Amino acid sequence: MNLNNTTTPLLKMALTLDFGTPVNTSLLIYILYSVQRIVFPSTSTPSTVPTEFKDSYSWMPKAHPPTVLFKTYTPRTLEPFSGKDGGRILLAINGIVFDVTSGKSFYGPNGMYGNFAGRDASRGMAKQSFDLEMLTPVDQPLDKLEDLRSDEVENMKGWIDHFSNKYIICGKLVENDAV
C-alpha cells in the first residue's frame, strides 16, 4: 500500500467534504464520533437514582430487606396463622413465637407436624409427640407445663435452640386476657 496515495486523498476528502465513496465517508464519520467520545467523555447523571447495579455504578436498592415486626400474640390471635389460607405459619414454644413459614412442608396444613401450626406446641415438643392431645384449646389458659419431667424440659429447650437457629423469633405468646 502506498501511503502517499492514501493520505493526500484523505486530507482532500476531509477538507473538501467529498462524499465520493460512501464507505470511506461513513468510516470517517464513525472515527470522528468515537474520538469525540474518548476525548469528551459523558458525565451526565440520570435524573432518578437507578435501582439495579447493571444500570449504573451509583445505584440504590429499591427496598429495605424484609423485617418482621415482633408482636405479642394470644392463643386466639395465633390460631389463624396455620397456613390454611396460604399465609404465614407460626408456632409457639414456651412463650416464644417462631415464624416457620419456610418449613411449610412440615408445618403446613398437609405436613407431618401440621397440628402444631398456629398453636402452643410446648408440651408436644417436650414429650416428643405430635398428637392432638398435646395441644390445649385456644379458649383455655396457657399450658403451665408444671408436670413435665426434667428430661422433657431439656428436650423442649433443645427444640427451642433448634428453632432459634432455623427460624425467626417473631413474637411472644401471652394469655388471652393479658392484652
Partner 1 sequence: MSISDYVVTDDLTVLLGLISVSVFLLHSLYRPQPLVHPILLGRQSEAGRVRHPGESAVYRNYGTGLLGRFPVRPEKDLNTVSGFLKPDFDSPRTLWSTKITNAQLLERISAVGTGLIKLTGLVPKESNVLLLLNDSIEFVISDFALSAHSIPSFTLSSPKLLSRVLESHPPSVIITHGSFLPHILELVYDAHEHHHTIVVVGQCDTNLLPKSATQVRIIRWDDVESEGSKGERVSGPAPSQGDVVNVSFFESTSGEIQGAQFTHENFTAGVTATRALFPPSNALSSLDTIASAHSLSTAFGRVIAYTALFEGASFTTLATSKLFHVDGELSLDDIVDIKSAATSSTPSPTVLFLKPGHVEALSSSILANAKKSFLFYPFAWRHKLAGVSEGFITRESLWDRTVFDGAREKVVGQTANTTRTVVVSGGPIDLASLTPTRIALSVPLVNTHSHPTVAGPVFASQPLDLQVFPTNSSDKFGTLAHVGAPSINVEAKLVNVQDDVVEAGGDPVGVIVVRGPPVGSLIEPTENGEGWVNTGETGRVLTNGAFKVLNTKQ
Residue-wise burial string across 52-82, b where 16 or more C-beta atoms lie within 10 A, e elsewhere: eeeeeeeeeeeeeeeeeeeeebbbebbeebb
CB of 125 to partner 1, least distance (A): 21
> 440520570: which residue's cell?
46
Interface residues with partner 1 (CB under 8 A) are 1-2, 5-6, 9-10, 13, 21-24, 27-28, 30-31, 34-35, 37-43, 45, 49, 53, 56-71, 168-170
> Which residue number, 102 or 129, has a Cβ lying nearer to partner 1?
102
- 155: closest CA among 118, 121, 108, 112? 121
> Which residue number, 59 or 113, has a Cβ lying nearer to partner 1?
59
> Which residue number, 103 or 114, has a Cβ lying nearer to partner 1?
103
> 405436613: which residue's cell?
111
CB of 28 to partner 1, least distance (A): 6
CB of 86 to partner 1, least distance (A): 21
Main-chain dihedrals φ then ψ at residue 159, nearest 5 degrees: -65, -35
CB of 178 to partner 1, least distance (A): 16
Residue type, 145: L
> Which residue number, 17 or 62, has a Cβ lying nearer to partner 1?
62
Q: In 10 A of CB 43, how many CB atoms?
A: 5
Strand partners, 120: 92
CB of 108 to partner 1, least distance (A): 20
> 418449613: which residue's cell?
103
> Which residue number, 39 or 132, has a Cβ lying nearer to partner 1?
39
